[in-house]
Structure 1
Amino acid sequence: MLTLTNITGLDLCLACVGVYLLKQVFKKNPAPYPPGPPGLPLFGNALSDMPHIKPWLTFTEWGKKYGDISHVQILGRHIVVLNSAKTAMELLDNKSYMYSDRPVLPMGGELVGWKDSLSLVPYGDRFRQYRKNIHRVIGSRAAVDTYSQVEEDETRRFLKNVMTKPDQLQEHIRHTAGAIILRISHGYKVKENNDPFVDLADRAMAQASQATAPGAFMVDIMPFLAKVPVWFPGAGFKRIAREWRETLEEMVSAPHKFVKDQMAAGIAPKSFTSDLLEIDTLTAEEEHVVKWSALSLYAGGADTTVSAIYSLFLAMTLFPDVQKKAQAEIDVVVGPNRLPSFADRDSLPYTEALAKEVLRWHAVLPTGFPHLLTEDDMHDGYYIPKGSLIMPNISFMLNDPRTYAKPSQFEPDRFLARDGKESETDPRTICFGFGRRICPGLHLADASIWISTAMSLAVFGISKVVENGIEVTPEVDPLSGTISHLKSFKCSIKPRSATAIALIQQDANY
């Protein structure tokens, strides 16, 4: 039975809807919105217009149909997709003062808690402090060079683990990425197997990728759902969020406590966190910044590096001629009696180009993180209203035939200037994001991918597996998520020679 209260509430609701629709009717925009999938008059696009699975593929189709910039409006939210690096740089780089904020993500940001990380924290003082802290440690090639020995040591350990258990490649890559970052961020040396901090971070990062994926949860499209009780039908996402929040909170607090305990005992090695904690008295805000700066350092490098290095092994499985060419270069420059080091980097141009092609071939962050526009803007005759979400389709930018010749091919030579031909666009200017939101750990990630490439190809032959006498060609299948990992695949990884075995065994005992 309807009561007076019910009727009043219903009337109020209808009145609000009516006011909103009237405002849309009489609102005069200075120019049209960018083109995009047609929506209903007044109401805009349907929820189904926003892709939930592998959104970069739908965004690419929009680019082919509507051009470099396209637009949808869903429940009053304007979403603008950028399908060229040129447009992304014109907006996100050249106008970074208005394109550097982040939207509120009800699931991943608010309910799970990633809003306090560098990737999602609003543009402002806390954001600048995070970046200042991280830039001081790994913000330049010179700064990253101070950790070259850590990276080389952990990569040697990686080679030994791969040789011992080649069928656990993905686990070894994750372990190594975690080991490098945790040494830098918290001075923590991981255990050989089943390290609790590495396992914790793996869970948290996998959950973060799902929680922040575009359109993965209805609450991100209809934020009012965040207010419904856990027992409400369809509110299972709240139980998931509660579980994921607990994982995140442990990931933030446990390594931080480890450093504080080590410092109290006088045995803490130098690290990003110990340096920031040297001040005798920290306010609650300052301690929060230390914890989340360290978390952001880890989160920004660990999972992305895992995805890139795993794609290296798939590429070498599928393109043996590229592998042989890189190995020939390494054999000539480095020789058989030692492993490559960072000191060899400038002398290995093809290996350098191969590492770049790995970053281009598989987009680790296919749609990046959305930017939030803080002022009305005009671009190329189109109106982009304040509050719009701006999504760069990085996956297409790295496969844009206007930028890369024959983009579907894995071809490192594209990055070598030869015979009067200029090298093609460095993918690192695209894949690490844009403007003031560019990844601050890009130099560390770049170094990790390069040293893994050089050392692995120096000692291993990577090829397709043979099952029942038949060679198995693995599938190239990027999975959904903010951070896209390739679908698991099988490959054969064997030492190239007895000399290679001796090198792995010798250098693993550092």
Structure 2
Amino acid sequence: PYPPGPKGYWLLGLIRIPMIKPWLTYVKWGKEYGDLIHFTRLGRHYLVINSLEAANEILERQARLTSDRPVHTELDRMFSLHFLGTAPYDDEWRAYRKLMHQNFRAVASIDYRPIEVKHVCKFLDRIDSPEISLKDQVSTLVHSLSQVIMYDSVYSLEISSNKENMPQHARDMAELFESFMIPGWDAFKSIPFIHLFPSWFPGGHHRINHEMLGKMVETFAEDLWQQTMKAMSDENQSSLMVKLFSEKQPQDRSNEDVELIKNMGMGAVAAATDTTMSAICTFFLAMSLYPDVQRKAQQELDSVLGHGKLPTFDDRSSLPYIDAVYLEVMRWHPAIPLGLYLQHVSIKDIYYKGYYIPKGQAMTHDESQFSKPDHFIPERHLNKENSISSILAYGFGRRVCVGRYMANDTMWITIASVLATKNISS
């Protein structure tokens, strides 16, 4: 049998799912139906995974079968194939992931640390006062930080402001992309020839927005490509993109090689645009709401480093409470609720505790296995064997975030540096 879940209308299924913070509804359902919740919408089956045990069993241990993405249509092809997170689970995706892994795995990410430190120091300088209020333009400054680090690391581009053309373009893409990632939209876009329907057809504005996003992706990719070509003529340029293109002579590069490298660079920048920024903003919010946590973290920094001294990555092992604050930021309010926007799809029928999960099933989950999950409590991570694999926000199985090591470094050095030099208030 299918797992239990809310019932909907005949043929239409469950059509009344809140579009604002739907994960809160999933958590509520979890208390009623259990750790697996099944529902249908517009002819498609969905499975909400509400426990770590179930997520590990289905998404980790059966990753080979549950790493696909929802059905890809003509509308998807306008943009989805450009990004590792949305591309289908096939040979092209494997080549894409291999390239990303080679350049953003744990060892490779160490090379980006000087760039991260440089821009975090600039970020601190831009905050004139030692007192930071959330009424200040914190989100604007953080957004700029998360983007300049990635532009510099991948393209050696110095972006002076988040108001410049390319950062703004990336943010616009992220906002439009998120508007499509809701349960039921993948069923709507699967209607045959939907990409040919006029704009006045019910839901036609979604098709128009899809086309708009496709054009935005093409423009963004071309802008970054032109920057790469310009850098290739500079002998002093040593960006990641230049290095990748220089590994093969022009006559040995296939069109597939070029597209793969272009997509990797663009995808890395686009991913950092929203997720890293959101996590750092969550840190500022948590510190303003939990001053006792902020005080404990600053006391640890002062005792280990001395008052006002900036931490380095070498200090991390001596700062367990700072690490716990970072881990709690990632647990408390993940940048993207797990599986909400990037759903898993099974490529074969599977079973879990006697429940049937058919091929093509979309999966999304939310976790609540911690005591007092709505409270920000870094102490829950102390005296534990924590690793980057324990951070659920980075995902599961073969769809785990490839850039997690660099994101981990960026967020930790930002959190530690801000706490060492600033006081955050509401």
Q: Return the TM-score normalized by structure 2.
A: 0.91
Alignment of 1:294-373 (within 5 A): 294-336=265-307, 338-368=309-339, 369-373=342-346
Q: In structure 1, what is the Cα distance between the partners aligned to 2:349 and 2:147?
A: 41
Aligned to 2:374: 408
Between the aligned partners of 1:223 and 1:452, the Cα distance in structure 2 is 48
Change (3 A) 1:304 1:228: same
Change (3 A) 1:339 1:108: farther
CA distance in 1, matches of 2:45, 2:409: 38
Task: Describe the superposition over 1:362-420 as per-residue Cα deviations: whole angstroms up to 9, x where unpaired.
Answer: 12121321111111111111111111111122xxx1xx1xx312222111111112xxx
Match in the other structure for 1:495: none
Cα deviation 1:240-284 (Å, max 9, x = unaligned): 22332222222222112201111124342x222112211222222
Q: Which amino acid aligns with 2:154?
A: S
Report the Cα distance in structure 2 between the residues aligned to 1:426 and 1:260, rounded to whole angstroms.
Answer: 35
Task: Specify the alignment match of 2:402 in structure 1.
Answer: 440
Question: Could you say what secondary structure the match of 2:391 adopts?
Answer: helix
Q: Secondary structure at the match of 1:36?
A: coil
Partner of 2:66: 99
Alpha-carbon shift at residue 116 of structure 1 (Å): 2.4
Match of 2:165 in 1: 196
Cα distance 1:186–1:159, how it changes in 2: closer, same or farther (>3 A)? same
Q: Would you say the 8 A contact 1:367–1:392 is kept in 2?
A: yes
Contact 1:107 1:217 (C-alpha < 8 Å) held by counterparts: no
Provide Cα deviations, 1:336-381, integer angstroms capped at 9, x if missing partner: 3631111111111101100111111112121321111111111111
Provide the secondary structure at the position in 2 that maps to 1:277. helix
List runs of 5+ in structure 1 lacking aligned partners. Answer: 1-31, 465-510
Please list, as runs of the form range in 1=range in 2, the aligned pairs for 1:34-73 lying within 5 A after superposition: 34-40=3-9, 43=11, 45-48=13-16, 50-73=17-40
Does structure 1 residue 384 correspond to structure 2 residue 357?
yes
Q: For 1:224 and 1:346, locate their aligned partners in 2 and report how far apart those are by CA, in whole Å.
A: 56
Q: Root-mean-square deviation (CA), in Å?
A: 2.4
Whether the 8 Å contact between 1:162 and 1:168 is mirrored in structure 2 is no
- CA spacing shift, 1:216–1:451, aligned 2, 3 Å: farther
**1:44 CA displacement:** 6.4
Question: What displacement does 1:107 show?
Answer: 9.3
1:453 to 409, 415, 423: 415
- Secondary structure of the residue aligned to 1:163 is coil
Alignment of 1:268-279 (within 5 A): 268=237, 270-278=238-246, 279=248
- Measured at CA, do residues 107 and 184 of structure 1 come closer, stay the same or move farther in structure 2, by a change above 3 Å? farther
The aligned counterpart of 1:152 is: 117
Cα distance 1:53–1:378, how it changes in 2: closer, same or farther (>3 A)?
same
Deviations 1:286-326 (A, max 9, x none): 11111111122222333101000001111111110100110
- Structure 2 residue aligned with 1:374, among 347, 365, 387? 347
| CA distance in 2: counterparts of 1:348 and 1:333, whole angstroms | 8
In structure 2, C-alpha distance between the alignment counterparts of 1:239 and 1:131, rounded to whole Å: 30
Instruction: Give the conservation status (yes or no) of the 8 Å contact 1:44–1:72.
Output: no
Amino acid at match of 2:291: P
SS at match of 2:356: strand
1:290 alignment partner in structure 2: 261
Task: Answer yes or no: is the 8 Å Cα contact 1:210–1:216 preserved in 2.
Answer: no
2:245 aligned partner, one-letter code: L
Distance in 2 of aligned mates of 1:103 and 1:312? 32
Q: State the SS of the aligned residue for 1:211.
A: coil
Q: Go from structure 1 to structure 2 and tell me whether the alpha carbon gap of 1:62 and 1:138 turns closer, same or farther (over 3 Å shift).
A: same
Q: Which residue of 2 aligns with 1:4?
A: none
Say if 1:215 and 1:334 are closer, same or farther in 2 by CA, change over 3 A: farther
Structure 2 portions without partners, runs of 5+: none
For 2:144, the equivalent position in structure 1 comes to 175
Is the CA contact (8 Å cut-off) linking 1:101 and 1:123 kept in structure 2? yes
CA contact (8 A) 1:56 1:366 kept: yes
Larger Rg: 1
* Number of aligned residue pairs: 417
The structure-2 alpha-carbon separation of the partners of 1:234 and 1:34, relative to structure 1 and needing over 3 Å to count, comes to closer
Write the distance in 1 (CA, Å) between the matches of 2:75 and 2:414: 31
How many Å separate the matches in 2 of 1:62 and 1:108? Answer: 31
Q: Which residue of 112, 116, 120 corresponds with 2:86?
A: 120
Q: Residue 236 of structure 1 corresponds to which residue in structure 2?
A: 205
The answer to whether residue 132 in structure 2 is matched with residue 163 in structure 1 is: no
Identity %: 34
Q: Deviations over 1:139-160 (max 9, x none)?
A: 11x3212111110110001111
The CA distance in 2 between the partners of 1:215 and 1:154, in whole Å, is 41
CA contact (8 A) 2:75 2:195 kept: no
Residue of structure 2 in register with 1:33 after alignment = 2
1:199 Cα offset (Å)? 2.0
- Relative to structure 2, which stretch is displaced further, 127-136 or 91-100? 127-136
Residue 131, structure 1, aligned to residue 97, structure 2: yes
CA contact 1:370–1:390 (8 Å) conserved in 2? yes
Q: Verify the 8 A CA contact 2:36 2:49 in the aligned structure 1.
A: yes
Write the distance in 2 (CA, Å) between the matches of 1:217 and 1:126. 22
1:480 alignment partner in structure 2 = none
TM-score (ref. length: structure 1):
0.77
- The aligned residue for residue 20 of structure 1 is none
Residue pair 1:185, 1:272 contacting (<8 A) in 2 also = yes
Matched to 2:268, the amino acid is: L
Task: Give 1:437 deviation, angstroms.
Answer: 0.3
Contact 2:43 2:187 in 1 (8 A): no
Q: Tell me the secondary structure at the aligned position of residue 365 of structure 1.
A: coil
Distance 2:303 2:183 in 1: 46
CA offset digits 1:59-81 (Å, max 9, x no partner) = 11221111111111223311111
